[in-house]
């Protein structure tokens, strides 16, 4: 089957699931049967367990497959849709709301007297839950009367679900991740605290900001540190086949330092922000220093830099080895590039993937940081003797979210190094060995030895025949 055609199970919003449908990638979108979904109309993409959910202007659909097919479909979507722009559009649509998470979900129930059933994009904020599907839009404001987590039977598709009930409104949400369920269950029980107006505030001689020291940062202990980078880099370097390293003429300790360098590049934005937050001196400055939105964007840029650096190092080593062997790689590269664009794109996608899966944690830290700064502003305006528990609660939530993101980075870093090690072991090192075993003729050494062996054998046979005569 063509690489632009896949057999997938497709569930269309409002219709039954279609098994083994032929889905075709075209330049401007995807086509299945008589339906066409243009990339420019895609509003959101969500990856759930064993599925990819696509929300477009006129249709919402879920694609399910096993093996490599789902991964190939994901790569189509990644290449065709600017997901950063999608998130900007969603944030703009929600105005100034603090988004806890956004996810694709299957909904069943009714809201405001209207049935809500099928695939929806869910955006949970501190004030409400918003559901989008094509031209349909629903919302449920907090707090709700009832929230109940329904545990799924082992092996049941969709995992645990959440039931929300508020007055006559009742909806069941499926395909949420455990951390999303917890965030939703926590938020929906609370009403959003209103800011105190100037008219309601009693006249005070001094504000707390003028007479009290600012709350201290008291940051949690971070897992990602220089020591952790060294440990993971050394462990991954030990997995690279030693025989290939020798045959590729690489120096001792090459991969330990190379992997560590890539880690420092990829995790640089996080380490810099942690350093700034740790020395900020106050809770407010620490929250500003972490800047989740900036950290997310800088991390994507840093991972791209690490991917390019990795391939540049490979090219440098190939040129060095070619110089030793007297092989003219520069002339050959004019015809066949050492690093094709397809390889670069594939590597970048695989290195970005572990950090893209942290998107909800970035959003969580961004939301908690905004709430914390808002609470601190109210705290600073209050009088010295006035108690305010809101800062303590907001700070606790922010620190917990920061710890979750930090732990996520640890896992992403391990996945990143595993991908780097696999790429070197299975792709780049064999290419380097091929260069190392060539001579000026451009013929690999093993081919030369094989030819020499054949010639030697023929000469031996000829000599035997001469003596027999």
In this predicted structure, the answer to whether residue 159 has a pLDDT above a threshold of 70 is: no
Residues pairing with 106 in the sheet: 119, 174
pLDDT at 337: 74
Rounded Cα gap, residues 148 and 324, in angstroms: 68
CATH topology of domain 5-86: PH-domain like (2.30.29)
pLDDT at 163: 92
* Mean pLDDT on 71-95: 75
| CA-based torsion, 21, 48, 121, 43: positive or negative | negative
Between the alpha carbon of residue 170 and those of residues 22, 175, 190, 339, 446, the distances in Å are: 36, 17, 18, 55, 71
Predicted TM-score (pTM) of the model is 0.50
The tokens describing 67, both together, are: 């093996």
Q: Tell me whether residue 118 is exposed, middle or buried, using C-beta atoms within 10 angstroms of its C-beta: 0 to 12, 13 to 18, 19 or more.
A: buried
Provide CATH 2.30.29.30 ranges for the chain.
5-86, 94-187
pLDDT at 384: 46
- Residue 128 three-state SS: strand
* Mean pLDDT on 119-141: 84
- Confidence grade of residue 164 (pLDDT, cut at 50, 70, 90): very high
* Mean pLDDT on 351-368: 87
Rounded Cα gap, residues 293 and 297, in angstroms: 6
Between the alpha carbon of residue 336 and those of residues 20, 329, 339, the distances in Å are: 38, 10, 9
- Per residue in 2-59, pLDDT (tens digit) is 558 898 888 876 667 888 889 999 988 999 888 898 988 887 787 776 788 888 877 7
* Mean pLDDT on 362-391: 73
In this predicted structure, the answer to whether residue 230 has a pLDDT above a threshold of 90 is: no
Mean of per-residue pLDDT scores for the chain: 78
* Mean pLDDT on 129-156: 81
* Mean pLDDT on 77-94: 73
Which helix (H) or strand (E) is 284 found in, with range?
helix 283-290
In this predicted structure, the answer to whether residue 155 has a pLDDT above a threshold of 60 is: no
Rounded Cα gap, residues 41 and 133, in angstroms: 12
Name which residue leads in pLDDT, 212 or 81. Answer: 81
In this predicted structure, the answer to whether residue 395 has a pLDDT above a threshold of 80 is: yes
Residues 6 or more apart from 104 whose CB is under 8 A from it?
44, 45, 46, 47, 48, 53, 55, 62, 119, 120, 121, 122, 175
Between the alpha carbon of residue 6 and those of residues 52, 76, 234, 334, 404, the distances in Å are: 14, 11, 40, 35, 37
Pick the range with the lowest mean pLDDT from 74-83, 85-94, 259-268.
85-94
- Per residue in 191-222, pLDDT (tens digit) is 654 444 433 333 333 344 443 445 566 777 77
Number of neighbours of residue 172 by Cβ within 10 angstroms = 18
Residues 6 or more apart from 264 whose CB is under 8 A from it?
229, 271
Sheet holding 35-38, edge to edge: 35-38, 29-32, 17-26, 5-12, 60-64, 51-56, 42-48
pLDDT at 32: 86
Residues 184/124, Cβ–Cβ less than 8 Å: yes
- Per residue in 435-447, pLDDT (tens digit) is 888 755 444 544 4
% of the chain residues with pLDDT over 90: 8
- Confidence grade of residue 144 (pLDDT, cut at 50, 70, 90): very high
Report the b/e string of 206-242 with b at 16+ CB within 10 A: eebeeeeeebebebeebebeeebbeebbeebbeebee
Rounded Cα gap, residues 290 and 366, in angstroms: 9
CATH topology of domain 94-187: PH-domain like (2.30.29)
Rounded Cα gap, residues 317 and 261, in angstroms: 16
DSSP states of 20-32 as a string? EEEEEEETTEEEE
- Per residue in 305-344, pLDDT (tens digit) is 889 889 988 988 888 888 888 877 777 766 667 778 888 8
pLDDT at 468: 65
């Amino acid at each position: 089957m063509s690489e632009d055609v896949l057999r997938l199970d497709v569930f269309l919003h409002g219709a039954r699931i279609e098994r083994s449908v032929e889905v075709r990638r075209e330049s401007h979108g995807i086509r299945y049967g008589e339906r066409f979904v243009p990339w420019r109309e895609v509003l959101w993409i969500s990856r759930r367990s064993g599925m990819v959910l696509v929300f477009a202007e006129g249709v919402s659909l879920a694609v399910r497959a096993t093996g490599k097919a789902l991964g190939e479909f994901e790569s189509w979507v990644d290449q065709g849709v600017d997901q950063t722009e999608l998130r900007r559009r969603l944030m703009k649509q929600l105005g100034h709301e603090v988004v806890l998470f956004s996810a694709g979900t299957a909904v069943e129930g009714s809201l405001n007297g209207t049935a809500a059933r099928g695939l929806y994009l869910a955006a949970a904020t501190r004030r409400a839950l918003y559901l989008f599907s094509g031209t349909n839009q629903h919302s449920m404001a907090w707090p709700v009367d009832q929230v109940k987590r329904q545990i799924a039977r082992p092996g049941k598709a969709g995992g645990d679900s959440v039931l929300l009930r508020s007055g006559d409104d009742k909806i069941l949400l499926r395909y949420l991740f455990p951390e999303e369920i917890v965030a939703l269950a926590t938020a929906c029980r609370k009403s959003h605290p209103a800011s105190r107006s100037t008219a309601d505030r009693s006249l005070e001689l001094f504000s707390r900001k003028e007479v009290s020291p600012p709350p201290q940062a008291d940051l949690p202990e971070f897992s990602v540190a220089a020591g952790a980078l060294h440990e993971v880099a050394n462990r991954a370097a030990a997995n690279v086949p030693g025989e290939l390293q020798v045959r590729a003429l690489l120096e001792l300790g090459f991969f330990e330092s190379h992997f560590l360098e890539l880690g420092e590049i990829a995790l640089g934005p996080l380490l810099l922000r942690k350093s700034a937050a740790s020395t900020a001196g106050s809770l407010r400055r620490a929250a500003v220093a972490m800047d989740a939105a900036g950290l997310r964007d800088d991390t994507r840029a840093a991972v791209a830099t690490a991917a390019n650096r990795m391939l540049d190092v490979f090219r440098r080593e190939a040129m060095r080895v070619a110089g030793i062997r007297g092989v003219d790689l520069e002339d050959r590269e004019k015809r066949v590039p050492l690093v094709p664009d397809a390889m670069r794109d594939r590597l970048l996608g695989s290195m970005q993937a572990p950090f893209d899966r942290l998107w909800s944690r970035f959003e969580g830290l961004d939301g908690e940081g905004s709430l914390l700064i808002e609470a601190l502003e109210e705290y600073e305006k209050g009088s010295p003797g006035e108690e305010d528990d809101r800062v303590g609660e907001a700070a606790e939530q922010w620190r917990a979210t920061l710890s979750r993101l930090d732990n996520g980075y640890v896992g992403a870093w391990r996945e990143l190094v595993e991908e780097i090690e696999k790429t070197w072991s299975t792709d780049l090192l064999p290419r380097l060995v091929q260069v190392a075993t060539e001579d000026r003729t451009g013929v690999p050494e093993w081919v030369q030895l094989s030819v020499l062996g054949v010639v030697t054998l023929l000469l031996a046979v000829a000599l035997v025949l001469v003596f027999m005569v």
